Amino acid sequence: MKFEWKEDQQNITVGAAVSGKPNAWGYIDHFRLVKVPEPVQADLFVERVDGISKNFIKGADVSSIIALEESGVKFYNFKGEEQDIFQTLAEAGINYVRVRVWNDPYDSSGRGYGGGNNDLTKAIQIGQRATANGMKVLVDFHYSDFWADPAKQKAPKAWSNLTFEEKKEALYEYTKESLQALRNAGVDVGMVQIGNETNGGLAGEKEWPKICELFNQGSKAVRDVSKDILVVLHFTNPEVPGGYETIAETLNKNHVDYDVFASSYYPYWHGSVENLTAVLKHVADTYGKKVMVAETSYVYTYEDGDGHENTAPKSGQTLNYPVTVQGQAHAIRDVIDAVVQVGEAGIGVFYWEPAWIPVGPPENLEKNKEIWEKYGSGWATRFAAEYDPEDAGKWYGGSAVDNQALFDFHGHPLPSLNVFKYVDTGAVAPLKIDEIKNIYLSVYEGEKIPVPEKVSVVYNDGTEKSETVAWDEAAIEDAVRKGIGRYEIRGKVLGIYNVTMYLEIKPKNYVLNPSFEEEDRSMWKITYRNGTSPHTDFLNKASDAKTGNYSLHFYSDQAVDFMVEQTITGLEPGYYNFNLFLQGGDAKDAEMYIFADTGEKLYKTGTSVNGWANWVNPEIKGILVLDGTVTIGASIKVGAGAWGTLDDFYLYRVGDYTPDGEKGGQGETGNHGGTGNGQQENAKDEKEEQGILVPDKFARGHHPEAESNAPARKLPETGTSHFQILLAGAVVLFTGALLFLKAKRLSGQKS
C-alpha cells in the first residue's frame, strides 16, 4: 500500500489485521516500511514502477537515424536547440541503443533497399555515437538482406545457393567478423541478437532443428569474441496461447545456447500486459533465462506526417490507451512495469524507431518519395523488388510509424520521451481531460437508435469517468428521416468539449448471427471436404475479427478445404446483394469464392487473401430471389499451412423484381450486372505471424499499408443476364423465321 507521511507527523503505526474462520492458518513475515521517491512535476503523469532496478535496460532502436539525417531531418532538445539525438536520448534516460544489421541491403547496381539501408557500416556509425553518449549497444543481426520477421526470413543473396552446412559456417563467420569490426571501432556491444522475430524461420530455414543449429552457430561466434556479451533470441506474438511455452521448450530440447528470451510487444496487437508478464515469467522460471521486450511502441496522434499511410491506428486493433502523448507515456510505462514484474530476470525494454519521423510534409509527397528513394529513409525503396518482389517490391514508401515516434513531425522531443527516467520517480501534472471517446453505432434501418446519454472521459492520470453528453437532436432526427447512410452527430461534454457519434444506418441484414457473436451458431453449416478433418473454429479474438470478438477461423498443416453456409427463408421476392469480410495468408494454390444459391441459379465470385488484417470484402450483386429462399456462404480451398478468418456475412435487399424487366423498388434494381469484387477494405503493416510452432498464425511484416484489389475469378449469373440471353434468342428465332418465309416466297416464284 502507498500513503503520504506529512511533515508534522512524529510517529506511525504499521501492522496487519487478520480474521478468518475456525482452523484457518497462515504466516505473516517481513514487514517493510520503505520511503519511495517523490514524483517530479512534469507535463504528464507517469506512475512510478515499483521495484525497477538501477540497471534496468531502457533502450531505443534508432536504426533509421543515419538515413534520416542524410535526408535533411534535424533533431532538437527540450530547449528547442538543435542537438545530437543520441545526447537527447541519453538525457531522457535511455541507456541502450539497438541497431539492426542486414548483410547486403543493396541491389545489383548498388542502390539501397531502404528502411535505413542498415548495413554493418551504418551499425558501426550508430554504435559509435551511442557509445560516445554513454549507452551500450544491442546488435540485431537479421541474417537477411532486408526485413526479417515471421512472415519472411529470406537468406542473404550471397547465401542463397549454399548447402546447409555451408550456411552454418557462413553465419558463424559473418557474425564473428561483424562483431569484431564493431568492437574494433570502439562500439560498446552489450548484447547480440541472433535473428529477428524468428518464430517461423531463420536465414531461409524453416525447420526447427535447423533453425536451432543456426542459433547455436551465431551464439558460438558471440562467445568466441567475448564471454561478456549476452546472446539474445527474439520472438513475437506473446498473446498466442502456448506459443512462447512451445518455442522455449523447443529451444531447450535442441540445446540452444542463449541468455535472453526477447519478445516484441505492440499493445494494439499483442494482448494484455498481464499476459506478457505471465509468458515471459514462465520462460524465466522454467529455463533460467533473462527476458525482455525488444520492440514496443504506441501511437500519439491519428495524423500522418509524410503522406505515407501509417501502421496504426486501424480497425481491429486494440487501443487501450488514448491516442495522445499522455496515452503513449502510459503505454510505455506499463510495458516497462510488465517486464519488471517478472522479477530479477526481467532486464529491459526497447522502444522501436522513436525517431522515424517525416522527411517532409504530406503535401510534398512527390518530393518525399524522391528522398526516400535516394537515401533509403522510408520503409522500402522500389529497388527492393529485386530481393523481395512480393512485399517490399510492391508496398515501398515512407515511414509507417511517424505517429508512434517520441519526437514530433519536426524533430522536437515529445514529453513522453522522458517516461524512461520518470518510471524511477513517478511524475505528476495538472489534472485535465486527455480523451473523450467517440461513439460508433451501426443499426439497421427501422431499428431504434440506442443513443447513449453518457460517454467515457479519460483523464491524463489514467482515470476514467462517465460524463453526460448533449447530442445534436436535430441531426439525429434528420438521420432517422433520411435512413440508409452514414452520419456524424456532434455532441458536447461538460458544455465545452466536443465528441462525435459516428452513426451508420444500413439495410436490414437477413443473415442470422452474421458475426458469430451469439452462442447459438446452429444456423451455420460447415462441411469439410475431400477427407479433411475439422480445421475451423469460432475464434474469440478481437484482433482477428472484423467487428466484435468472434470470427470463423481456419488453419491446417494439411490441406484446407471447407464450405460454410446458411440457408435463409422468408425473403420477399426481389434483388439482393451479399458480401462478407475475410483475411489470411500463406494461401498457396487457393480456390476461394463466395456464393449465393437460389435453387434456380448459383451466383459466385472469386476472392483471395493477402495478409493479416488486410480485410478483403468480396460482394455479389443482383441476386434474384423469387421463392423467398437463398443459401449464402463461402468456399475455401487452399494448400497446407493456410490460415485466416471470415466475418460479417451480410445479405441485404436492394430492389423489387418485375417480370417485364423494368426497374422497380429502390437502389440497384432492374439492371443488375451481377459483378463481384474482392476489394481490400483495410490493410496492415508490421503485423506478426506465429510461425510453424503454433498453428494460430497471423503475420506481421515490416511494411506500410498494402493496397490490393482481388479480382473476381468468375462473374456470377444474374436474372438480368439470363433475360438478356432469352431476349437475344428470341431475336435470332424471329430473324430466322423471316428469312425462312422470304426464302419460301422466292422458291414459289421460281416454280
**Closest by Cα among 256, 248, 273 to 332:** 273
Q: Measured in Å, how far apart are the chain's first and last C-alpha atoms?
A: 119
In whole angstroms, give the CA distance from residue 17 to residue 279. 34
Low-confidence ranges of the chain (pLDDT < 70): 5, 7-8, 660-751
pLDDT score of 164: 98
**Closest by Cα among 422, 435, 464 to 327:** 435
**Closest by Cα among 189, 188, 148 to 171:** 148
Per-residue pLDDT of 161-194, as tens digits, reads 999 999 999 999 999 999 999 999 999 999 999 9
Per-residue pLDDT of 22-55, as tens digits, reads 999 888 888 877 777 889 999 999 999 999 999 9
Q: Three cell numbers at 293?
A: 521486450
147 has which bridge partners?
none
DSSP string, 195-264: SSS-SS-BTTB-SHHHHHHHHHHHHHHHHHH-TTSEEEEEE--TTSTTHHHHHHHHHHHTT---SEEEEE
pLDDT score of 687: 32
Q: Does domain 42-428 have CATH number 3.20.20.80?
A: yes
CA angle 352, 357, 358 (to 5 degrees): 150
- Residues known to be catalytic: 197, 295
List % helix, strand, coil for the chain (3-state, nearest 5): 25, 25, 50
In whole angstroms, give the CA distance from residue 226 to residue 691. 31
In whole angstroms, give the CA distance from residue 172 to residue 180. 12
The residue extents of the domains of the chain are 42-428, 433-506, 525-656
Q: Is the dihedral of CA 188, 192, 196, 202 positive or negative?
A: positive
In whole angstroms, give the CA distance from residue 277 to residue 280. 5
Give me the residue label for grid cell 529491459: 348
CATH number of 525-656: 2.60.120.260
In whole angstroms, give the CA distance from residue 398 to residue 402. 9
What is the length of the chain?
Answer: 751
CATH number of 433-506: 2.60.40
pLDDT score of 495: 93
